[in-house]
């Protein structure tokens, strides 16, 4: 029998109107934004693929959950619903809500990292690394080399390289490593999964060295889907089962609920150790709010609890990743260089290949992202040298091998037709790529510079 197509496991009940702007309006908008797509007004954007964070479409069940908000300052029933849901689906016993993922990163970094510590991870993430550094730590990349190679077809580019980990222990000693931070479906590598086998091996390694294993579980459901599709022994397991198994291999987790769990705001820190929970409760009241709401309204915790149950549904995740794959395949078949294999939440354009005439110091991915907006009103995000920032000790720019533009697909928001228009826009930009010029900073913030930096064209 021929392979059956997937279809979205929902129908649309309400729509938000969007409109295409004129080329003149877009030129003015991108100039005013200093060629930074973060600084564009949303109303000037046609198809918004900046991020998948906080921009998903909630279900009718989630919206009805909003009406069930218990906004008590202390002990909201929605908190207990969230806590129980986290334990049921993600295995962690204790949950500390935070306003979003970086709130949880701040707390875990402050609690566990001391000056001079090292924190290994399977590739950096911008806010994660910054909080580690602010707490006095140094991030160390221990992902496999294939993760830095856009053309490698490795099915699990999020895997940890144990030689790199062993070398770090040898150099600094296990007592200088408070924890290892492992992301599922590694964002900066192109939405690439870690395998269950690699995570199990890491669990054993951590036990041997007495090092804690922390899980950035922001996109764990997408990782679980790739395991189901690619890893031997998991074909008959549900995404829900795989998600639970992944989480239960780790000691604690930080979560940005704005991705997998399809809410507009929220996050949490979760763990199994009661002592660690106690300390996190002490700190959350300083930065976020009481431990039964963190930074969240009761209604948002309710929508989140419902979103978690929807996020691990096999039909949902198949359609979600399927839509990303649809866009990626269209671009690939037109000869557009993208990161392989196609990731879980986004298609990443290889700006080095598309703009070989722009050196990395002139920010090719930033320039490509601005050019794509100008062409079509499609908003994307730079994930290259600008996002990588500067080394905290030397002040030099990090020069990542991956110089990418991310076309990030919000969950349950756009249709296949939007993907077609996006693909056509990228192909049009590719055809006149030699006319695209590099950029230089006119304003460079000290930290997380990609959010607010401004640029001008280098002519
Ligand atoms: O944006 P937050 O503070 O809710 O979460 C921070 C965060 C942590 N880990 C990972 C893997 C992320 O992707 C992440 C946020 N990502 C954003 C905003 C993105 O556009 O990818």
Residue with CA nearest ligand 1 atom 2? 101
Residue 441 bridge partners (DSSP): 455
Q: What is the pLDDT of residue 72?
A: 98
Residues assigned a catalytic role: 73, 125-126, 216, 259, 383, 450
Q: What is the pLDDT of residue 215?
A: 98
Average pLDDT value for residue range 411-420: 98
Average pLDDT value for residue range 207-226: 98
Confidence grade of residue 392 (pLDDT, cut at 50, 70, 90): confident
Q: Is 267 in the pocket of ligand 1 (CB under 6 A)?
A: yes
pLDDT digits (tens, 9 = 90+) for 5-60: 889 999 999 999 999 999 999 999 999 999 999 999 999 999 999 999 999 999 99
Average pLDDT value for residue range 399-422: 97
Q: What is the pLDDT of residue 397?
A: 94
Q: Which of 50, 103, 127, 223 to mutate to test the pocket of ligand 1 (most atoms within 8 A of CB)?
A: 127
Q: What is the pLDDT of residue 459?
A: 85
Mean pLDDT taken over the chain:
97
Q: What is the pLDDT of residue 1?
A: 58
Q: Is 257 in the pocket of ligand 1 (CB under 6 A)?
A: no
Q: What is the pLDDT of residue 318?
A: 96
Q: Which of 37, 259, 262, 411 to mutate to test the pocket of ligand 1 (most atoms within 8 A of CB)?
A: 259
Q: Is 100 in the pocket of ligand 1 (CB under 6 A)?
A: yes
Return d(Cα 339, Cα 400) in angstroms, integer: 14
Which atom of ligand 1 sits closest to the CA of residue 50? 20
Return d(Cα 432, Cα 410) in angstroms, integer: 28
Which atom of ligand 1 sits closest to the CA of residue 267? 4
Q: Is 106 in the pocket of ligand 1 (CB under 6 A)?
A: no
Domains, the chain, in order of start with CATH, read 23-45+314-457 (3.90.1150.10), 60-311 (3.40.640.10)
Residue with CA nearest ligand 1 atom 18? 53
Q: Is 51 in the pocket of ligand 1 (CB under 6 A)?
A: yes
Q: Which of 353, 373, 355, 384 is nearest to 426 (CA)?
A: 373
Q: What is the pLDDT of residue 395?
A: 93
Q: Is the pLDDT of residue 144 over 90?
A: yes
Q: What is the pLDDT of residue 4?
A: 74
| Residue 69: HSE in the Cβ half-sphere, 13 Å Cα cutoff | 16
Q: Do residues 254 and 349 touch, judged by C-beta distance below 8 A?
A: no
Average pLDDT value for residue range 115-134: 97
Q: What is the pLDDT of residue 2?
A: 66
Q: What is the pLDDT of residue 110?
A: 98
Q: How far, in Å, from the CA of 331 to the mean position of ligand 1?
A: 25
Q: How far, in Å, from the CA of 345 to the mean position of ligand 1?
A: 12
Residue 346 bridge partners (DSSP): 408
Q: Which of 52, 101, 257 to mutate to test the pocket of ligand 1 (most atoms within 8 A of CB)?
A: 101
Return d(Cα 404, Cα 125) in angstroms, integer: 14
Q: Token pair of 42, please?
A: 């949303």
Residue with CA nearest ligand 1 atom 7? 101
DSSP 338: B
pLDDT digits (tens, 9 = 90+) for 289-327: 999 999 999 999 999 999 999 999 999 999 999 999 999
Return d(Cα 136, Cα 240) in angstroms, integer: 37
Q: How far, in Å, from the CA of 256 to the mean position of ligand 1?
A: 6
Q: Is 128 in the pocket of ligand 1 (CB under 6 A)?
A: yes
């Amino acid at each position: 029998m021929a392979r059956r197509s997937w279809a979205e496991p929902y129908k649309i009940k309400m729509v938000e109107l969007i409109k295409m702007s004129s080329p003149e309006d877009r030129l003015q908008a991108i100039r005013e934004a200093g060629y930074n797509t973060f600084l564009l007004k949303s109303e000037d954007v046609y198809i918004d693929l900046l991020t998948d964070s906080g921009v998903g479409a909630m279900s009718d069940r989630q919206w009805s959950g909003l009406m069930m908000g218990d906004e008590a300052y202390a002990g909201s029933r929605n908190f207990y619903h969230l806590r129980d849901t986290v334990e049921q689906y993600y295995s962690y016993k204790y949950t500390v809500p935070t306003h979003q993922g970086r709130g949880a990163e701040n707390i875990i970094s402050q609690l566990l990292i001391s000056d001079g510590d090292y924190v290994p991870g399977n590739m950096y993430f911008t806010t994660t690394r910054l909080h580690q550094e602010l707490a006095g730590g140094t991030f160390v990349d221990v992902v496999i080399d294939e993760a830095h190679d856009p053309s490698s077809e490795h099915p699990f580019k999020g895997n940890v390289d144990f030689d790199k980990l062993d070398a770090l222990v040898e150099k600094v000693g296990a007592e200088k490593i408070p924890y290892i931070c492992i992301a599922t479906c590694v964002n900066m590598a192109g939405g690439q999964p870690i395998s269950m086998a690699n995570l199990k091996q890491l669990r054993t390694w951590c036990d041997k060295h007495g090092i804690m294993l922390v899980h950035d579980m922001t996109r764990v459901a997408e990782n679980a889907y790739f395991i189901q599709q690619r890893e031997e022994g998991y074909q008959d397991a549900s995404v829900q089962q795989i998600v639970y198994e992944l989480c239960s291999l780790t000691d604690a987790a930080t979560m940005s609920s704005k991705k997998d769990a399809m809410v507009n705001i929220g996050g949490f820190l979760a763990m199994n150790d009661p002592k660690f929970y106690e300390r996190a409760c002490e700190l959350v009241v300083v930065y976020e709010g009481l431990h039964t709401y963190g930074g969240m309204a009761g209604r948002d915790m309710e929508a989140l609890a419902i979103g978690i149950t929807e996020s691990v549904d096999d039909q949902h995740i198949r359609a979600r990743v399927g839509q990303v794959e649809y866009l990626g395949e269209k671009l690939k078949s037109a000869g557009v260089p993208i990161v392989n294999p196609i990731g879980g939440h986004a298609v990443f354009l290889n700006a080095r290949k598309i703009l070989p005439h722009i050196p990395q110091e002139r920010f090719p991915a930033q320039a490509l992202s601005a050019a794509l907006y100008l062409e079509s009103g499609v908003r994307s995000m730079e994930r290259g040298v600008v996002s990588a920032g500067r080394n905290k000790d030397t002040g030099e720019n990090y020069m990542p091998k991956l110089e990418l533009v991310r076309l990030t697909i919000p969950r349950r928001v756009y249709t296949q037709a939007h993907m077609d228009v996006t693909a056509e826009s990228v192909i049009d930009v590719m055809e006149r790529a030699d006319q695209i010029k590099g950029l230089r900073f006119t304003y460079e913030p000290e930290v997380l510079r990609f959010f607010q930096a401004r640029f001008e064209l280098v002519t």
